[in-house]
Every structure is written in C-alpha cells, then in structure tokens.
C-alpha cells in the first residue's frame, strides 16, 4: 500500500469510469484535479455529496479543475446509482465515477484504512495541481460529509499561492487580504505589491489579493 504525501507526483492509473476508460494523467491534461472516494454506492451521505459536486461543476470549471469520484462498486451499480442521485438531488451528474472493484486505485492512493473499514474506502480528497503534484489531502470518516465550499476556498488559495509570493491567513476567502511571504523583505515587498503593504510585525505583512483588478 502506498503512502502519498504533499508534493508527491499523483500516481497515474487507468480505470473504467461512467464516462469511459480513463488514463488519469492524460485525462487531467493541463488542468487541476480533484480525486475523491466514496465508501460505496447507494450510501446516503455520498448521494448528497455527488449531487453537490454536480451543482458546483461550473465553479470547478472556472478554476480549471476537473473532478472525478471513485468507489469500489462496479459500473452497472454506478450508472443505476447516478439515476438516484439525479432524482433525489435535483441535478445531473456531470463528471466521471471510477469503478474500482479490484481496489487498485484505492490502494494506490491509500484510501482504505483497515481500522475504519477493511473493505470500503474512507472519504479521501486529493487536490492535484496542473503539474500533477499532490497539493492537498483531506481524509474524512465515512459518517461525515465533505464541505465543498471549503474545497473551493482551498483551491482558490492553492492557485493564488502557486503563482504569487503570498500565503493565505486563517479563514481567508477570495478577495480578502493575504500574507506576504517571509522570504521577501519589506522593502522588496513594497516594489512587488503595488496595492500596498501593511507591516503589522516584521514577520507579518499583509497586502490586498494581488491577482484582482
């Protein structure tokens, strides 16, 4: 079983999905990606999650993020379950669900935690950058549904901090002030961040979000 850490290359795989065969790296292309697992088909929390992701797809598209789900059930089960998701959640599932019956992908990404359940995947979330590197890992127990507003917030932060020398403070949301990287002197920061530098402490400098007009 693999142990995946932040900064590792996301393991590539081929798998069957509800939208055809997927070669993961080829499918991602130049996009960012979210790979998230579900304990099983026809579980109530998963049904609400997949419906929510379908409704949020436009937000993921705006951020150049492709989304793919996974469970250890088969394609026939997935397709039938999608009908239930569409009906009960008043949406249309618009992203692939991987059928991982042999658990190859689950084991590759360490999604099965035996002390929680020795057969079913926990609620793992992997955010993968356009460079195919793992940027975020969150693991939820089977009983707790994920917060996809938080995932959008984190992706906004990851994409901002990937291209600008800043970090995001606690509870940051898109449009709010950000923290200037400690590696930049205050003098240099004033030249880089032309919207202004607020030096609260020598190590704590704030500036308006730099990629907004």
Same domain, 170 and 140: no
Same domain, 29 and 79: yes
Chain-centre distance of CA 63, in angstroms? 11
CA distance 123 to 108: 15
From the number of C-beta atoms within 10 Å of its C-beta (0-12, 13-18, 19+), residue 163 rates as exposed
CA distance 99 to 172: 36
| Domain-located, residue 89 | yes
Same domain, 71 and 102: yes
**pLDDT given for residue 41 in this prediction:** 87
**pLDDT given for residue 167 in this prediction:** 97
Same domain, 98 and 192: no
* Given the residues 35, 46, 70, 125, the one annotated as active site: 46
CA distance 87 to 100: 24
Same domain, 102 and 22: yes
83 three-state secondary structure: helix
**pLDDT given for residue 196 in this prediction:** 95
- The predicted-structure confidence for 36-78, as pLDDT tens digits, reads as follows 988 788 989 999 999 999 999 999 999 999 999 998 889 999 9
43 three-state secondary structure: coil
**CB count in 10 Å sphere of residue 123:** 22
Q: What does the mean pLDDT of the chain come to?
A: 91
**pLDDT given for residue 160 in this prediction:** 96
| Domain-located, residue 39 | yes
Catalytic residue at 143? no
CATH code for the domain of 128 = 3.40.30.10
Question: Which residues form the domain of 70?
Answer: 14-145
Same domain, 103 and 174: no
- The predicted-structure confidence for 93-124, as pLDDT tens digits, reads as follows 999 999 988 888 888 888 766 555 555 555 78
Of 6, 4, 2, 3, nearest to 129 by C-alpha is: 6
Q: Output the pTM of the full model.
A: 0.89
**pLDDT given for residue 62 in this prediction:** 96
Angle at 63 between CA 18 and CA 174, to 5 degrees: 135
Kindly give the interhelix angle for 44-55 and 148-163, rounded to the nearest 10 degrees: 50
């Amino acid at each position: 079983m693999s142990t995946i850490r932040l900064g590792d290359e996301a393991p590539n795989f081929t798998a069957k999905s509800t939208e055809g065969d997927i070669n993961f790296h080829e499918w991602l292309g130049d996009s960012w990606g979210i790979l998230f697992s579900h304990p099983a088909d026809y579980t109530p929390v998963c049904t609400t999650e997949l419906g929510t992701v379908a409704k949020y797809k436009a937000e993921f598209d705006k951020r150049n993020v492709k989304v793919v789900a996974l469970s250890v059930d088969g394609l026939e089960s997935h397709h039938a379950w999608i009908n239930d998701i569409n009906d009960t959640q008043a949406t249309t599932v618009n992203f692939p669900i991987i059928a991982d019956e042999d658990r190859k992908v689950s084991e590759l990404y360490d999604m099965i935690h035996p002390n929680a359940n020795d057969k079913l995947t926990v609620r793992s979330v992997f955010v993968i950058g356009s460079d195919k590197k793992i940027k975020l890992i969150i693991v939820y127990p089977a009983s707790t549904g994920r917060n996809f507003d938080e995932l959008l917030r984190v992706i906004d932060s990851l994409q901002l901090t990937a291209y600008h020398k800043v970090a995001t403070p606690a509870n940051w949301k898109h449009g709010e002030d950000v923290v200037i990287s400690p590696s930049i002197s205050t003098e240099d920061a004033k030249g880089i961040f032309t919207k202004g530098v607020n030096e609260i402490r020598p190590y704590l400098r704030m500036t308006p979000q730099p990629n907004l007009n």
